[in-house]
Amino acid sequence: MSAPPPLRIRGLSVGYPSDHGPIQAVREVDLDVAAGEFLGIVGESGSGKTQLLLSILGLSAPRAELCGSIRYREQELIKLEVAALNQVRGNRISMVFQDPMTALNPYLRVGRQITEVLQVHRNVSIREAERRAIEMLESVRIPDAARRLRQYPHELSGGMRQRVMIAMALIAEPEILLADEPSTALDVTVQAQILSLFQELRARTGTAIVLVTHDLGVIAEVADRVAVMYAGRIMEQAPVHELFAHPRHPYTEALQQSIPRIDAPRSTRLASIGGTPPNPAALPAGCAFAPRCIYRLPICDSVAPPLLEIRPEHWKACHHEGELGKLRGEAA
Amino acid sequence: MSSAPPITPAQAGAGPLLAVRDLSVNYRVAYRRGHALLHAVNAVSFDLARGETLGLVGESGSGKSTIARALLRLVPATSGVALFHGSDLLQLSGGRLHTMRRRLQLIFQDPLASLDPRMNIGDILDEPLRVFEPQLPRPQRLQRVLAVTRAVGLGSEHLHRFAHEFSGGQAQRIVIARALIIEPELIVCDEPLSSLDVSIKSQISNLLKDLQRQLQLSLLFISHDLAAVRFSCDRVLVLYLGRVMEIAGCDVLFRACRHPYTRALISAAPIPDPVAARARRRVPLEGEIPSPLFAPSGCVFRTRCPMAIERCASEIPLLRQVGDSLVACHRAEELAS
């Protein structure tokens, strides 16, 4: 490893007060984002993946309590004052949200929303900003870009709006792009277009991309490295090929075995994960996955396993030693 | 090679349970200062056998939900015939429509939105029996409710609870139970898995498949998720802008599809395996589905089709048999894999 990673998250917890007691949305997460990498974070709803992304940009709800550390280069982002945070977000680290229709301002023309980023962060003239905005729209493959700049979000299709969001996020040439389920609301054909656009932009600009999704298929298509989240914790983290070929956490294995594939002969049954995800206001004392785990040991109910490096760059948080494979036998 | 054309299922013995011919649904929509005609579904024909699962796939705006809604008489069909037990579903009214409805049930995407928040689960499951079998005494109704609750993997302790106390997966089990309790023959499932989490999706997929086999149900399975369709369906119908592009048996379709649109859909679907996903040759589809108000002339897919030729703009391709598929494409022969 040469340069230190630009983004280092250590011991991050994000909690909220609620009627049913405090909710821990993110629990003691350690995560690095290396320069230019494509990191995938996969998890189901309630796993804390979106809360993790939001906390990086200081976008957690006002009553959220954050502990731990989020360092971007030399700067600690937690509890940073807004003015200083605004120097980072939209500029060095930017974000693409799941639903572009609610993330774009319906009252403003697309051009104004894109150029605003440059005017805030780069102090360029309006004409220069517009020239750059047209270039940017062309690079996200929006045809007839000059005309699109004068349109409002409702005049664009869903895929087109998501391209505008990506153009906005990339126009200041950020070092890190955070993307929260950017293709989930889109049709599969448009999803494939957006994913290949991400890959192309990453290759061209060297921007690191952190993509959050519930879809292991999306991860397999684009990510270099994967973190699997469950109930606010990272359960496993590994390079993408290693994770898919040798999952070492029972939850990763179960996820992988429970999704049908279009490229394999049809099976009669899918392996399934029994039970339901835990209530975030009443998490078990030990491993949060233990109640649904087929490899469960007595210790799992009382002690939460720490995230340990079991092979170079392969981390898991599980008491079970050695290989998995029970599910594979069952599904076959 | 099978001799029966795949518009009808392979094992058709005593004729299909449902035979749809030339179903069209048009909407009049405000456009500029007047009106325009939107062709949501355009001359769609298919058969559904007893005990068969037929998948309807296509992007949003392809008309898959509209077909389901027209069959269930939730939107009026403009023309066409849907024969079910010898009578045309699209023409029934009054008492005969009511009688027919108990044989047809539906399951929507969002289970929590399809359960009355003020009724407990016992009452929700009991209601179809009160409507369709009013002569049944209460203890027998309760027995039926308990039996169906167990069949979907829930217990009697759930009957006194309300919808909001359940997770999405459990709520979908309740919706399935409610559809099953009056013993329908055909269930229309409109994106039944889409709102569920990955770990719950497989539970519900397995449950639907088991119940379908045990009860010999016919399912119309609407989904944008091709992998789920491959797991759940016997045959697949591919729609684009309200028209049928291809109909084929599930294994044939995923092994050797004959329509460029089917090929594009399959190649866009993510594969949860980085080696396979990155090795395959992609056939990327440019642009997005056009507005059905301005459907292209000739073949509606031609504006995004990598294989389009001049003929495609002037001549609407008819659905015809090529190999083991029924396909509407002038160049289907060239697409053998």
Per-residue pLDDT of chain B (337 residues; tens, 9 = 90+): 344 445 666 554 568 999 999 999 999 888 888 888 899 999 999 999 999 999 999 988 899 999 999 999 999 999 999 999 889 999 998 899 998 988 999 998 889 899 999 999 999 999 999 999 999 999 999 999 999 999 999 999 999 999 999 888 899 999 999 999 999 999 999 999 988 888 889 999 999 999 999 999 999 999 999 999 999 999 999 999 999 999 999 999 999 999 999 999 999 999 999 999 999 877 778 888 888 888 999 999 999 999 999 999 999 999 999 999 999 999 999 987 5
Count how many residues are written for chain A.
332
Asked whether the beta carbons of B227 and A261 are under 8 A apart, the reply is yes
For A72, residues 6+ apart whose C-beta sits below 8 A from its C-beta are A6, A7, A88, A92, A93, A176
Residues of B in contact with A260 (CB under 8 A): 202, 205, 227-228, 230-231
Residue with tokens 């340069």: A3
Q: Is residue A165 part of a domain?
A: no
For B279, residues 6+ apart whose C-beta sits below 8 A from its C-beta are none
Number of domains in chain A: 1
pLDDT score of B2: 42
Task: Average the pLDDT over each of A148-152, A278-282, A298-302 and give the range with the smallest value.
Answer: A278-282
Asked whether the beta carbons of B88 and B82 are under 8 A apart, the reply is yes
Token pair in block for residue B49: 């056998």
Residue spans per domain, chain B: 18-103+184-258
Residues A92-116 have a mean pLDDT of 91
**Does B224 sit within 8 Å of A214, measured CB to CB?**
no
Token pair in block for residue B164: 């909001």
A260 at B interface, C-beta within 8 A:
yes
A299 at B interface, C-beta within 8 A:
no
Residues A182-192 have a mean pLDDT of 86
A279 at B interface, C-beta within 8 A:
no
B207 at A interface, C-beta within 8 A:
no
Q: Specify the CATH superfamily of domain B18-103+184-258.
A: P-loop containing nucleotide triphosphate hydrolases (3.40.50.300)
pLDDT score of A25: 94
A238 at B interface, C-beta within 8 A:
no
One-letter amino acid at A16 equals Y
B281 at A interface, C-beta within 8 A:
no
Asked whether the beta carbons of B251 and A267 are under 8 A apart, the reply is no
The helix/strand/coil state of B221 is strand
pLDDT score of A267: 73
pLDDT score of B174: 95
Identify which of A26-40, A281-295, B191-205 has the greatest average pLDDT.
A26-40
Choose among A45, A265, A292: nearest Cβ to B197: A45
**Does A192 sit within 8 Å of B268, measured CB to CB?**
yes
For B188, residues 6+ apart whose C-beta sits below 8 A from its C-beta are B68, B71, B72, B104, B105, B106, B107, B219, B220, B222
Q: Which of A18, A29, A97 is nearest to A63 (CA)?
A: A18
Residues A7-34 have a mean pLDDT of 93
pLDDT score of A184: 83
Residue with tokens 């279009």: A262
Listed by number, the residues of chain B in 131-170 with a beta carbon closer than 8 Å to a beta carbon of chain A are 167, 169-170
Token pair in block for residue B307: 């294989």
Q: What angle do CA B263, A332, A322 make, to 5 degrees?
A: 115
A262 at B interface, C-beta within 8 A:
yes
Q: Is residue A217 part of a domain?
A: no
Separation between Cα atoms, residue A148 and residue A142, nearest integer Å: 8
Listed by number, the residues of chain B in 71-110 with a beta carbon closer than 8 Å to a beta carbon of chain A are none
* CA distance, residue A122 to nearest chain B CA (Å): 32
Contacts of residues B145-153 at CB distance under 8 Å and 24 or more positions apart, as own/partner, are B145/B181, B148/B177, B148/B180, B148/B181, B149/B121, B149/B125, B149/B177, B151/B177, B151/B180, B151/B211, B152/B176, B152/B177, B152/B180, B152/B207, B152/B211, B153/B203, B153/B207
A149 at B interface, C-beta within 8 A:
no
Q: Is residue A314 part of a domain?
A: yes
pLDDT score of B168: 87
pLDDT score of B83: 95
Q: Which residues pair with A71 in a beta bridge?
A: A8, A76
CA dihedral A314, A318, A322, A324 (to 10 degrees): -100
Q: Which of A5, A36, A33, A7 is nearest to A201 (CA)?
A: A36
Q: Measured between alpha carbons, how far is residue B234 from residues A199, A307, B228, B231, B254 in Å?
A: 36, 44, 12, 9, 12
B12 compared with A47, residue with greater pLDDT:
A47
Separation between Cα atoms, residue A198 and residue A207, nearest integer Å: 10
* CA distance, residue B132 to nearest chain A CA (Å): 34
Token pair in block for residue A215: 């879809």
**Does B288 sit within 8 Å of A270, measured CB to CB?**
no
Task: Average the pLDDT over each of A117-131, A235-249, B8-22 and give the range with the smallest value.
Answer: B8-22
Q: Which H helix or E strand runs over B105? A: strand B104-107
Q: Is residue A174 part of a domain?
A: no
Choose among A160, A189, A272: nearest Cβ to B202: A272
Separation between Cα atoms, residue B164 and residue B167, nearest integer Å: 8
Q: Is residue A208 part of a domain?
A: no
How much is the pTM?
Answer: 0.90
Residues A167-192 have a mean pLDDT of 90
Q: What angle do CA A284, A286, A292 make, to 5 degrees?
A: 65
The helix/strand/coil state of B299 is coil
**Does B59 sit within 8 Å of A188, measured CB to CB?**
yes
One-letter amino acid at B329 equals C
Q: Is residue A305 part of a domain?
A: yes
pLDDT at A280 over 50: yes
Q: Is residue A256 part of a domain?
A: yes
One-letter amino acid at B317 equals P
pLDDT at A268 over 80: no
Token pair in block for residue A64: 């959220």
pLDDT score of B7: 61
pLDDT at A151 over 90: yes
Q: Is residue A277 part of a domain?
A: yes
For A255, residues 6+ apart whose C-beta sits below 8 A from its C-beta are A42, A216, A228, A273, B198, B199
Question: In the Cβ-directed half-sphere of A129, how many Cα atoms lie within 13 Å?
Answer: 20
Residue of B nearest to A143 (CA): B287
**Could you list the residue range(s) of the whole structural domain that residue A269 is in?**
249-332
Separation between Cα atoms, residue B80 and residue B43, nearest integer Å: 7
Choose among A254, A259, A292: nearest Cβ to B272: A259
